[in-house]
Amino acid sequence: MATVMIVGATRGIGLELVRQHAADGDKVVACARDTNAAEKLDEVAAGAGNIDIVQLDIADPASIEAAGKTVGDQPIDTVIIVAGVVGGAHQSVDDIDIEEWHRTLDANTIGPLLVARTFKPNLVASGKGNLMIVSSQLGASTWPMGGMYIYSSTKAAVGKVGKILSIDWAAEPIIISIMHPGWVQTDMGGPHAEITAEESASGIRKVIAGLTKEDSGNFYKWNGDIHPW
């Protein structure tokens, strides 16, 4: 049985990851920004005895620190950071919300780094830790799409964060990876997206299961392919 932490566990891909890992018998630490508004997660947890719900707001350093104290020093085999935000509606070059850009940077880029730093000891204690940051193909310079300056730039930046972590932690028993989860039928992706949350979560888990230390720092697609950076 593995111990898996899902950051951003209340809906979509994160909730499906909780559901799948719990069904397989793993111990799941399910992190929610607002534990009082996590009805779907509560429903999944009510039917399982191996899910602990922890408050963690990815955009709030104090919340991340508090979550670290709540979790304590228990070994964690895998941390998957799904939490993030779109960045609002005003993302064109002629109509950009600067304050929202700052808020989105906190959630999409800085927050994942702080989560990695906070739970590094837990991953090291596992002896075979995996840290995966869910990003987006919009964060790749190879993706031919304009607009979405806020979302795309903060996702590009967190990809670089993951790459740097893989270098700085090369001697640690932790594999770092970045993931494009696909265009998924979630609140963010919409009902006409290409794949379901179940397909995305299953693909993400399969990728993690096959990673070796030599793969650390790579950017993957949900189907296991390397995403051109």
Domains of the chain: 3-221 (3.40.50.720)
Mean pLDDT of the 183-197 span:
72
Mean pLDDT of the 197-213 span:
96
Three-point CA angle 133, 107, 60, nearest 5°: 115
The encoded tokens of residue 106 equal: 């906190």
Q: Give this prediction's pTM.
A: 0.95
Position 40 scores a pLDDT of 95
Choose between 218 and 197: higher pLDDT.
218
Position 186 scores a pLDDT of 67
Position 179 scores a pLDDT of 96
pLDDT digits (tens, 9 = 90+) for 30-75: 999 999 999 999 999 998 899 999 999 999 999 999 999 999 999 9
Nearest alpha-carbon partner for 4 in 34, 41, 30, 24: 30
Position 142 scores a pLDDT of 86
CB 170 within 8 A of CB 182: no
Q: Evaluate if residue 188 carries a pLDDT over 70.
A: no
End-to-end CA distance of the chain: give it in Å, rounded. 34
pLDDT digits (tens, 9 = 90+) for 87-133: 989 999 999 999 999 999 999 999 999 999 999 999 999 999 999 99
Q: Evaluate if residue 191 carries a pLDDT over 80.
A: no
Q: Evaluate if residue 139 carries a pLDDT over 90.
A: no
Position 46 scores a pLDDT of 94
pLDDT digits (tens, 9 = 90+) for 154-184: 999 999 999 999 999 999 999 999 999 987 8
Q: Which amino acid is at 50?
A: N
Position 144 scores a pLDDT of 80
Most distant CA atoms of the chain, gap in Å: 51
CB 216 within 8 A of CB 177: yes
What are the angstrom distances between the C-alpha of 148 and each of 119, 133, 154, 175?
A: 31, 20, 10, 30
The encoded tokens of residue 158 equal: 């967190």
Name the H helices within the chain. Answer: 12-23, 39-46, 61-71, 98-105, 111-126, 149-168, 197-210
Position 174 scores a pLDDT of 98
| Confidence grade of residue 187 (pLDDT, cut at 50, 70, 90) | low
Q: Is 37 helix (H, G, I), strand (E, B) or coil?
A: helix
- In which element (H, E) is residue 182 found? none
